[in-house]
Structure 1
Amino acid sequence: MKLGNHLLKAAMLSTISIASLSVGSAAFAQDNAPQASDDADENVIIVTATKREQTLEEVPVAVSVTSAAAIERAQVRDLKDLQTLVPSLRVSQLQSSANTNFIIRGFGNGANNPGIEGSVGVFIDGVYRSRSAAAISDLPNLQRVEVLRGPQSTLFGKNASAGVISIVTAAPSYEFGGSAELSYGNRNAIVAKADVTGPIADNVAFSLAGGINKADGYGTNLTDGSKTSERNRWYGRAQLLIEPSESFKLRFIGDYDKIDENCCFVGNIFDGPTGAAIRAIGGKVNSAGIFSYSEYQNFASENKITNGGVSMQADYEMGSLSLTSISAYRESRAKTNADSDFTSADLIGANRGDVDITTKTQELRLASDFDGPFNFLLGAYYFNESINNKQALTLGRDFRNYASALTRGAYVSLEPTIRAAGGVPSTAAPFGGQGQGRFEDWDYKNKAYSIFGTADLELTDGLVLTGGFNYTKDKKNLKSNTTITDVFSAIDLVQVGANAGLPAALPAGFVPAGGTALASGLFPRINNCATVTNAPASSTPNPTRSGTCNPFLDLQALQFLPPFLNIPNAVEDGRTSDGKLTYSVRLAWEATDSINLYASYGTGFKATSWNMSIDSRPFGSDFIAGSPAQGAPLAASAIRTAGLASANLTSGTRYALPEEAKVKELGLKAKWDSVAFNLTIFDQSIKNFQGNSFIGTGFVLTNAGKQSVKGVEFDSSFNPIDALQLRVATVYLDSKYDSYVGSQFGDISGQAVAGIPKWSTTLGATYTMDLNDGKALIFNADYHNESNVVINENPAWRQYKREVNDLSAAATLRFDSGLQVSLWGRNLTNAKYVSVNFPSVVQSGSISGYPNAPRTYGASVKYKF
Structure 2
Amino acid sequence: MSLSSLTLLLLASASPLGATAPDRDDPPRVETAAEDPAVDDSQDVVVTARRREERVQDVPIALSVLSGEDLAESGAFNVNRLQQSQPTLQFYSSNPRNSAINIRGLGAPFGLTNDGIEQGVGFYVDGVYIGRIGASTFDFVDVERVEVLRGPQGTLYGKNTTAGAINITTRAPSFEPESRVEVSIGNYEFLQAKASVSAPLADNVAFRLSTSGTTREGTVLNVRTGVDQHRLRNLGVRGQLLWRATPDLDFTLSGDFNRQNPLCCVQYYAREGATQRPLNRQYAALAAAFGYAPPSKDPFDRVTDLDADSNSRQEIGGASLVGNWNIGGATITSVTAWRYWDWLPANDRDFIGLPITTVSQNPSQQKQFSQELRIASNGSGPLQYTLGAFYFHQTIDTQGSQVQGPAASRWLLNPGASVPPGSSGCATATTAACNPAVLNGLTSTNTISFDNTSFAVFGKLNWEVAEGLHIQPGLRVNYDKKRGSYVSVVTTGAGSTTLTSDQRGVLAPQAYEPAFSDWNVSGDFTVSYDFSPDIHAYATYARSFKSGGINLSGLPLDAANNPILAVATVKPEKVNHYEIGLKTQFADRKVTLNLAAYWTEVNDYQATVTNGQLGVIRGYLANAEKVRVRGFELDSSFRPSARFNVYGNAAFTDATYASFKDAPCPPELAGGTTATAAQTPGAPGTPGGLSPAFCDISGQWLPGISKWSLAWGGEGNVPVGNGQVYLGYDGSYRSKFSSNPSRSRYMDIDGYSLSNFRLGYREGDFNIFGWVRNAFDQHYFELLSAQSGSTGLIVGQPADPRTYGLTVSSSF
Q: TM-score, normalised by structure 1?
A: 0.80
Q: Which moved more, 1:316-325 or 1:599-608?
A: 599-608
Q: Secondary structure at the match of 2:617?
A: coil
**Aligned counterpart, 1:327:** 336
1: CA distance, partners of 2:719 / 2:769:
16
**C-alpha distance 807-415 of structure 1, shift in aligned 2 (>3 A):** closer
**Aligned counterpart, 2:443:** 437
Please say if 1:669 is aligned against 2:675. no
Q: Secondary structure at the match of 2:510?
A: coil
Q: Which structure has the bigger radius of gyration?
A: 1
Say whether the 8 Å CA contact 1:157–1:380 is kept in structure 2.
no
1: CA distance, partners of 2:432 / 2:83:
53
**Aligned counterpart, 1:485:** 491
Q: Secondary structure at the match of 1:339?
A: coil
Q: Secondary structure at the match of 1:378?
A: strand
Alignment of 1:251-266 (within 5 A): 251-266=252-267
Counterpart residue type for residue 108 of structure 1:
G
Identity %: 27
Per-residue deviation at 1:648?
Answer: 5.4
2: CA distance, partners of 1:215 / 1:41:
37
2: CA distance, partners of 1:329 / 1:346:
41
Alignment of 1:738-777 (within 5 A): 738-745=658-665, 746-772=695-721, 774-777=722-725
Q: Secondary structure at the match of 2:438?
A: coil
**C-alpha distance 416-432 of structure 1, shift in aligned 2 (>3 A):** closer
Alignment of 1:531-546 (within 5 A): none
Counterpart residue type for residue 767 of structure 1:
G
Say whether the 8 Å CA contact 2:194–2:211 is kept in structure 1.
yes
Say whether the 8 Å CA contact 1:221–1:297 is kept in structure 2.
yes
2: CA distance, partners of 1:44 / 1:804:
35
Per-residue deviation at 1:286?
Answer: 4.1
Say whether the 8 Å CA contact 2:410–2:433 is kept in structure 1.
no
Say whether the 8 Å CA contact 2:570–2:622 is kept in structure 1.
yes
**Aligned counterpart, 2:801:** 854
1: CA distance, partners of 2:373 / 2:163:
23
2: CA distance, partners of 1:416 / 1:854:
41
Per-residue deviation at 1:758?
Answer: 1.2
Counterpart residue type for residue 266 of structure 1:
Q
Per-residue deviation at 1:665?
Answer: 0.8
Per-residue deviation at 1:454?
Answer: 0.5
Q: Which runs of 5+ in 1 are unaligned?
A: 1-29, 419-428, 494-555, 569-573, 624-645
Q: Which runs of 5+ in 2 are unaligned?
A: 1-23, 274-281, 417-424, 666-694
Q: Secondary structure at the match of 1:72?
A: helix
2: CA distance, partners of 1:416 / 1:115:
35
**Aligned counterpart, 2:66:** 66
Alignment of 1:70-469 (within 5 A): 70-94=70-94, 96-109=95-108, 112-271=113-272, 273-369=282-378, 372-400=381-409, 402=411, 408-409=425-426, 413-415=430-432, 430-434=437-441, 436-469=442-475
Alignment of 1:407-806 (within 5 A): 408-409=425-426, 413-415=430-432, 430-434=437-441, 436-486=442-492, 559-568=504-513, 574-614=514-554, 616-617=555-556, 649=563, 653-672=567-586, 673=588, 674-693=590-609, 697-745=617-665, 746-772=695-721, 774-797=722-745, 800-806=748-754
Tell me the alpha carbon deviations over residues 265-289 of structure 1, each in whole angstroms, 9 at most, x when there is no partner. Answer: 3131224632432342344434522
**C-alpha distance 319-828 of structure 1, shift in aligned 2 (>3 A):** same
Say whether the 8 Å CA contact 2:406–2:437 is kept in structure 1.
no
Tell me the alpha carbon deviations over residues 525-559 of structure 1, each in whole angstroms, 9 at most, x when there is no partner. Answer: xxxxxxxxxxxxxxxxxxxxxxxxxxxxxxx6x75
Say whether the 8 Å CA contact 2:556–2:620 is kept in structure 1.
no
**C-alpha distance 412-259 of structure 1, shift in aligned 2 (>3 A):** farther
Counterpart residue type for residue 445 of structure 1:
D
**C-alpha distance 723-406 of structure 1, shift in aligned 2 (>3 A):** farther
Counterpart residue type for residue 808 of structure 1:
N
Please say if 1:836 is aligned against 2:783. yes
- Taking only aligned residues, the RMSD between alpha carbons, in angstroms, comes to 2.5
1: CA distance, partners of 2:747 / 2:486:
40
**C-alpha distance 347-411 of structure 1, shift in aligned 2 (>3 A):** farther
2: CA distance, partners of 1:222 / 1:301:
14
Per-residue deviation at 1:224?
Answer: 2.2
**Aligned counterpart, 2:12:** none
Counterpart residue type for residue 260 of structure 1:
N
Q: Which moved more, 1:480-489 or 1:143-152?
A: 480-489
1: CA distance, partners of 2:260 / 2:806:
24
Per-residue deviation at 1:41?
Answer: 4.4
Tell me the alpha carbon deviations over residues 592-625 of structure 1, each in whole angstroms, 9 at most, x when there is no partner. Answer: 12201111111211111222213x247x8xx9xx
Per-residue deviation at 1:37?
Answer: 5.8
Counterpart residue type for residue 603 of structure 1:
R
2: CA distance, partners of 1:167 / 1:190:
24
2: CA distance, partners of 1:430 / 1:328:
51
Say whether the 8 Å CA contact 1:152–1:163 is kept in structure 2.
yes
**Aligned counterpart, 2:759:** 811
Per-residue deviation at 1:117?
Answer: 1.5
Say whether the 8 Å CA contact 2:516–2:549 is kept in structure 1.
no
Per-residue deviation at 1:799?
Answer: 6.9
Counterpart residue type for residue 659 of structure 2:
S
**Aligned counterpart, 1:9:** none
Per-residue deviation at 1:404?
Answer: 7.3
Per-residue deviation at 1:430?
Answer: 4.1
Q: Secondary structure at the match of 1:98?
A: coil
Aligned length: 727
